[in-house]
Amino acid sequence: EAGVTQSPTHLIKTRGQQATLRCSPISGHTSVYWYQQALGLGLQFLLWYDEGEERNRGNFPPRFSGRQFPNYSSELNVNALELEDSALYLCASSLRGQGNIEQYFGPGTRLTVT
């Protein structure tokens, strides 16, 4: 069974541009989570989507947004890129649960903003 996939692997953008990151969950998983992993900061929760709806978001500005498609894949959009947005962006998927379901992670997209 295929795991969580993310594309692209690497993305280089210039400050002020927009970045779009994509994630395909494990088949049968309806929840998708996005995390930012900046150096030394661990994983910071960005967004949680389930059944096409945004269910929760972390403490990030509105220029971080996303959506979930009917096939449960997801996009993360980052507008007006800033240098500090450079990080590894991890996507995870899980079955719908009540906090008790483990998440399965993709390999991440390394975003570099110059």
Judged by the rule CB under 8 A, the positions of this chain that interact with another protein are 3, 33, 35, 40-45, 48, 55-56, 88, 90, 92, 97-100, 102-108
Closer CB to another protein, residue 8 or residue 97?
97
Smallest separation (angstroms) from another protein to the CB of 16: 27
Coil/strand/helix, residue 113? strand
Closer CB to another protein, residue 79 or residue 88?
88
Concatenated DSSP letters of 39-97: TTS-EEEEEEEETTEEEEE-S--TTEEEEE-TTS-EEEEE-S--GGG-EEEEEEEE-S-
Q: Token pair for residue 1?
A: 């069974």
* C-beta atoms surrounding 2 within 10 Å: 8
Per DSSP bridges, beta strands 104-105 and 5-7 are: unpaired
Closer CB to another protein, residue 18 or residue 27?
27
Smallest separation (angstroms) from another protein to the CB of 5: 11
Closer CB to another protein, residue 18 or residue 54?
54
Smallest separation (angstroms) from another protein to the CB of 29: 13
